[in-house]
Structure 1
Amino acid sequence: MALEFALFLPAEPSERWQLARQLGVSHVVAPLPFTIRGGHVAANQPGVPQPIVPPEVPPPDHRPWDFMPLLLMKQRFNEAGFTVSVIEASPPMHRARLGLPGRDEEIEWVITLIRNMGKLEIPVWCWNWMAVINWARTSITTPTRGGALVTSYDHELMERAGPTEVGTVTEQQLWDSLAYFLKAVVPVAEEAGVKLALHPDDPPVPSLRGIARILITPEAMERAISLVPSPVNGITFCQGVFSTMGVHVPTWIRHFGARRAIHFVHFRDVRGGPTKFVETFHDDGQTDMFEAMRTYYEIGFDGVMRPDHTPTMAGEPNDQPGYMMLGRLFAIGYMKGLLEGVQKTSQYPVTAPAHA
């Protein structure tokens, strides 16, 4: 597979499926076929703590990570002309992240998901280690260019909420539980032929309402995938988070690309740093997006890349902040233009004009 563009699409057919095909997008980043209380939803309300109580789990063969629900979802996508290239969702994992009793059951659910992905030839699982609170924002209505709405984050505002019901969670607790998880899951992924794509913490702050965030620097991401070294143990290179970290994004694309550790890409941008930032249109942030795209091309990245959070534009309800459709239409067109420019300038390098 060469570098391919994808969109996160719902599990059931919708207008978004048709728009994706009209854009020429044939690769899908899919959720699990349905959600359960306590589970992970990729487009959930940002910053809201997730319940730690044991989730209500359907009986075997009816859970969204079981074979038949995944098969039926994949067949729906295939019959509409799509290839499911990534699952970006998980069974409940909060006890696994916190190292609490019940984590082994959650890890078994993940193992079941990975084995079934292998059987169905779905090659990449995007996952994260953000305990209790997934991606966090303090506004979902920040105006940007032309009155479009984006999400933004102010750490001082978030911390006013105080601790969550779980109290203090330390870095060591999360590193220990991550190592325990990877030791159980990586051998299964190797056997199944499924690549693990670990997403960094968003926002990349050391602590969020008393809960440590450990995957907040490129070096921490390196440490995480080195806990259990394997060709299948890699990362989701989320450009927005790496940019928020304050690092030079293309440098780290090249670094992880040299390790063949980039299994999936979120292509987006921001303005600001870890404690205060605003998301942007793809052409309006602080990263040189052409240089980033050129770097993926030069390292020979051979996976899928999707536009991540995009602005809510005129006429849209903003009921899924960051995941409405018009901004993603703009993003795919922009990304296609960047890639075409990279390919053509790589094939025909620009040279200085000859002197008379």
Structure 2
Amino acid sequence: MRMVFRWFGKENDPVPLTHIKQVPGLEGIVWALHDVPVGDVWPLDQIAEVKKHADQYNLNIEVVESVNIHEDIKLGLPTRDQYIENYKLTIKNLAKYGVKVICYNFMPVFDWVRTELYKTHNDGATSMFLEKQQIESVAPMELVKTVSYDNSYSMPGWEPERLKHLAELFKLYEGVTEEDLWSHLQYFLEQVVPIAEQNDIKLAIHPDDPPYTVFGLPRIIKDRHDLSRLVELVDNKYNGITFCTGSLGIKPENKLEEMIKAFAERIHFVHIRNLRRYKNGDILETSHRTEDGDLNINKIVKTLHEIGFHGYARPDHGRQIWNENCRPGYGFYDRALGIMYLWGLWDAYNQNYYYRTKLKLNG
């Protein structure tokens, strides 16, 4: 397992690389050019600048999250072909600077959704919270008014330019079905996967978060069935998965350890986090520790160890603790704690493997 850490850049992230490099076992940053408009080609000089900065701290830039997909591609509009060509050029440019994995998603309009960014825990820490009833009760046009005036739904990873055109986007998606979205994803992958393979960059789709329909928009990467369909669209190891325990774990019927084993060869990137599920469908993000949530992080890490996972992993959304001034979900302190918890589990499994192997060799 190769540990990496999401970082939003010198201008956008309060966490400096001087801190990140001090986390034991951390190899690189998970980054993006957040100021490049979605659909544009990522310029070589800007990629080079990120690499130059990371090199100063002996951190690699091998994982990008995300090269976002233009809405015209998701909608299947005639203009999608130019945006797909731009995507191919971006892949080629990233390959020149050693990028090995591109995480992306195919969620219409929104990426991940939460209803509260600073839900207070009993111990005073805060984390992100999803109130399912609130999501289900907000009509799309009411949401447009909310976002337009107070930006209360804005979160890390969202594209500000999309928020300015919500009404137009909702109108464009009227009548777009899940089958339509699958067709548009296949069209995209059939063109970009060969380019990714030629440049030795693995594409890793992120599951929908939450893994169900929101605001009437179709969602297609929600469970084991969807992941099976995804890998079959283009049967090539460069068409792979970002296995996000928090996104998939929202649905209790998603058996995460079984899914890891089923898609072992296609999992190129792992996001590890924990959460608390409530009977009414609400979700509260917790510490990474198994006992603090409803996901068995212990067994998840053990399964990754058993399949011999050598891909990239990062601690996902953490809590805001110790009065840290940080992006919601992306503070330094709790994610660093999460890494050490994950390494503790991994080291224990390494020791168990060593002693089992030694016993076998000694008869």
Question: Given the two structures, how large is their TM-score scaled by the length of structure 1?
Answer: 0.85
The structure 2 residue matched to 1:162, chosen from 139, 151, 172, is 139
The corresponding residue for 1:46 is: none
The corresponding residue for 2:28 is: 28
The structure 2 residue matched to 1:82, chosen from 54, 59, 66, is 59
Task: Show the 5 A alignment for 1:284-323.
Answer: 284-318=292-326, 320-323=327-330
Is the Cα contact below 8 Å between 1:203 and 1:275 reproduced in 2? Answer: no
The structure 1 residue matched to 2:276, chosen from 271, 296, 300, is 271
Q: Number of matched residues?
A: 321
Deviation of 1:100 after TM superposition, in Å, equals 2.5
The structure 2 residue matched to 1:4, chosen from 2, 5, 11, is 2
2:212 is the alignment partner of 1:220: no
SS in 1 for 2:21: helix
Structure 1 stretches of 4+ moved >4 Å: none
Task: Show the 5 A alignment for 1:43-58.
Answer: none
Q: Which amino acid aligns with 2:275?
A: V
Deviation of 1:275 after TM superposition, in Å, equals 4.0
Mapped partners of 1:138, 1:172: distance in 2: 28
SS in 2 for 1:211: coil
Deviation of 1:83 after TM superposition, in Å, equals 1.2
Say which is worse superposed, 232-241 or 272-281, in terms of deviation: 272-281
Deviation of 1:163 after TM superposition, in Å, equals 2.3
SS in 2 for 1:212: coil
Mapped partners of 2:48, 2:127: distance in 1: 35
Q: Which amino acid aligns with 2:6?
A: F
The corresponding residue for 2:360 is: none
SS in 2 for 1:22: coil
Is the Cα contact below 8 Å between 1:152 and 1:279 reproduced in 2? Answer: yes
SS in 1 for 2:123: helix
Deviation of 1:33 after TM superposition, in Å, equals 3.2
Task: Show the 5 A alignment for 1:55-204.
Answer: 65-91=42-68, 93-163=70-140, 165=167, 166-167=170-171, 168=174, 169-204=176-211
Query: Aligned Cα RMSD in Å?
Result: 2.1
Is the Cα contact below 8 Å between 2:242 and 2:271 reproduced in 1? Answer: yes
SS in 2 for 1:348: helix
SS in 1 for 2:270: strand
More helix by share: 2
The corresponding residue for 2:19 is: 19
2:300 is the alignment partner of 1:254: no
The corresponding residue for 2:145 is: none
2:332 is the alignment partner of 1:325: yes
Mapped partners of 1:186, 1:103: distance in 2: 16
SS in 2 for 1:146: coil
Deviation of 1:196 after TM superposition, in Å, equals 0.5
2:239 is the alignment partner of 1:233: yes
Mapped partners of 1:272, 1:345: distance in 2: 32
Q: Deviations along 1:195-243, whole A, 9 cap, x unmatched?
A: 01110000001x2111111111111012012101101111001011221
Q: Which amino acid aligns with 1:212?
A: P
Deviation of 1:18 after TM superposition, in Å, equals 1.4
Say which is worse superposed, 337-346 or 15-24, in terms of deviation: 15-24
Mapped partners of 1:289, 1:328: distance in 2: 14
Mapped partners of 1:26, 1:66: distance in 2: 27
Report sequence identity in percent.
31
Mapped partners of 2:193, 2:93: distance in 1: 15
Mapped partners of 2:85, 2:122: distance in 1: 46
Is the Cα contact below 8 Å between 1:290 and 1:342 reproduced in 2? Answer: no
For structure 1, the 5+ residue unaligned runs are: 40-54, 58-62, 351-356
The structure 1 residue matched to 2:341, chosen from 316, 331, 334, is 334
Is the Cα contact below 8 Å between 2:8 and 2:32 reproduced in 1? Answer: no
Q: Deviations along 1:309-341, whole A, 9 cap, x unmatched?
A: 1111131235x2111111111111111111111
Q: Deviations along 1:90-118, whole A, 9 cap, x unmatched?
A: 25512211222422222122111111122
For structure 2, the 5+ residue unaligned runs are: 142-166, 358-363
Distance 1:179 1:337, change over 3 A: same
